Amino acid sequence: MTDAAHIAERYIAVWNETDPVRRNALLVQGWTEDATYVDPLMRGDDRDQIGTLIGGVHQRFPGFRFALDGRVDGHGDRIRFSWTLGPQAEPDMIKGTDFAVIEEGRLKSVTGFLDKVPPGA
């Protein structure tokens, strides 16, 4: 398997990319064509839907940035990592942990859990 930390870094880069064309290029590089993403608030069943979901996060939280939080763990074809999301003044306003399945070095499926969400977010 490709280095778990590198895959997690590419994942965060996709979520931070505000330009839809560049974001789509990152999705093509780092996610399988039939990739899936699911968390308690949303679901995407292919790269196009995942890109749309990410665009929606940018619309709802303009100027917020994702960052890895702590160590990335990998085991076989699976990785686990935590992240933060927030504006520059409060970069860990929202926190989560994601579990991913990797196929040939690319993300096949991601299941996200929200660990910290302020009221109204």
User: Residues 111, 36: contact at Cβ < 8 Å?
Assistant: no
> Residues near 6 by Cβ (< 8 Å), separated by ≥ 6?
none
In order, the DSSP letters of the chain are ---HHHHHHHHHHHHH---HHHHHHHHHHHEEEEEEEE-SS-EESSHHHHHHHHHHHHHHSTT-EEEE-S--EEETTEEEEEEEEE-TTSTTSEEEEEEEEEETTEEEEEEEEEEE--TT-
Burial (CB count <10 Å: 0-12, 13-18, 19+), residue 19 = exposed
Sign, CA torsion 88/93/57/46 = positive
| Percent of the chain residues topping a pLDDT of 90 | 96
pLDDT band at 2 (very low <50, low <70, confident <90, very high): low
Convert the pLDDT of each residue in 69-90 to its tens digit: 999 999 999 999 999 999 999 9
CA separation for the pair 8, 44 (Å, rounded): 18
Domains, the chain? 4-116 (3.10.450.50)
> Which pLDDT belongs to residue 79?
98
